[in-house]
Amino acid sequence: MTDSPLVPAIEVQGLGKRFSDNGQAVINDLSFSVAADSSLCLLGPSGCGKTTLLRLLMGLEEPSSGVIRITPALAKQMSYVFQEPRLVPWRTCLENVLLPLELTRGKNEASRAYALDLLQRLGLDERLQHFPGELSGGMQMRVALARALVTRPGIVLLDEPFAALDERTRFRMQDLLLELKSRLQLQYVFVTHSISEAVYLGDQILLLDGEGRARDWRGIDFAERNQQLKLTPSFNAIVQSYSQLFSEMENSNTASSRSGERP
């Protein structure tokens, strides 16, 4: 049942976003849909509107044009992971994870037990009473993940969450995300500017160009994903093709900016 279920989880049509009336569009006429059980990676050069698109999906920004349709059941339970862990410094690890429950008045014995369970799965059970300032960057990000998952979301939106981590930690976090995805039947939209990360984590990849237009849309199908996969020729072929697209975009960008130079 992996290919095209009848109702897509997310459907975007003719989406556009500009921040002021005469400003340049950050997102330009985007249309795509995400199947109910697949995860999407948004890939593109920096400043191409990936974060804006994520914020639009979350409802943190209003679209200037077009529509976003998200299955109501999923729309109600979306959560968001920022580029940085963004933990509350005076709350302990556990209290940070419980924060969404407190704010949505969903804190009770069962949800607390679930929070503890999540923290244990993320290997943080010995750090419950530690403050964020006492944790490493990778641990802080795991706390942020637990906080995003504690409300049992259907979709998690992640905005380059692992970009600031060192490589080994980043790889571990990628595997952790894949594991959570299969265990919790989680769906995610993952923003990244790393090609290999996108190919590794995405069932589908949407490549945006510098003007916030869709440049490429494709499904990625691997039977199994683990770090060894990154060494296989088929994986590298996909990465290679994206590198090519990236350099094409860069070339056309410099060309257009040259022709558009102001006197």
Given the rule CB under 8 A, which residues bind another protein? 58, 60, 79-80, 82, 84, 86, 88-90, 99-100, 102-104, 131, 133
Query: What is the closest distance, in whole angstroms, from the C-beta atom of residue 248 to another protein in the complex?
Result: 35
Give the contacts of 212 (CB within 8 A, at least 6 positions apart).
17, 25, 26, 27, 28, 30, 48, 49, 52, 53
Rounded to whole angstroms, how far apart are CA atoms 80 and 4? 25
Residue pair 54/42 in contact by the 8 Å Cβ criterion? yes
3-state secondary structure of 259: helix
Query: What is the closest distance, in whole angstroms, from the C-beta atom of residue 5 to another protein in the complex?
Result: 28
Q: Token digits for 100?
A: 């969404």
Residue pair 171/160 in contact by the 8 Å Cβ criterion? no
Rounded to whole angstroms, how far apart are CA atoms 204 and 216? 10
Distance of CA 8 to the CA centre of its chain: 18
Closest CA to 44 of 217, 222, 221: 217
Query: What is the closest distance, in whole angstroms, from the C-beta atom of residue 60 to another protein in the complex?
Result: 7
Nearer to another protein, 8 or 106 (CB): 106
Query: What is the closest distance, in whole angstroms, from the C-beta atom of residue 80 to another protein in the complex?
Result: 5
Query: What is the closest distance, in whole angstroms, from the C-beta atom of residue 90 to another protein in the complex?
Result: 4
Residue pair 167/174 in contact by the 8 Å Cβ criterion? no
Nearer to another protein, 133 or 260 (CB): 133
Nearer to another protein, 88 or 237 (CB): 88
Rounded to whole angstroms, how far apart are CA atoms 145 and 98? 12
Nearer to another protein, 47 or 59 (CB): 59
φ, ψ for residue 168, nearest 5 deg = -65, -45
Query: What is the closest distance, in whole angstroms, from the C-beta atom of residue 92 to another protein in the complex?
Result: 9
Nearer to another protein, 131 or 171 (CB): 131
Query: What is the closest distance, in whole angstroms, from the C-beta atom of residue 20 to another protein in the complex?
Result: 20
Nearer to another protein, 7 or 88 (CB): 88
Nearer to another protein, 100 or 210 (CB): 100
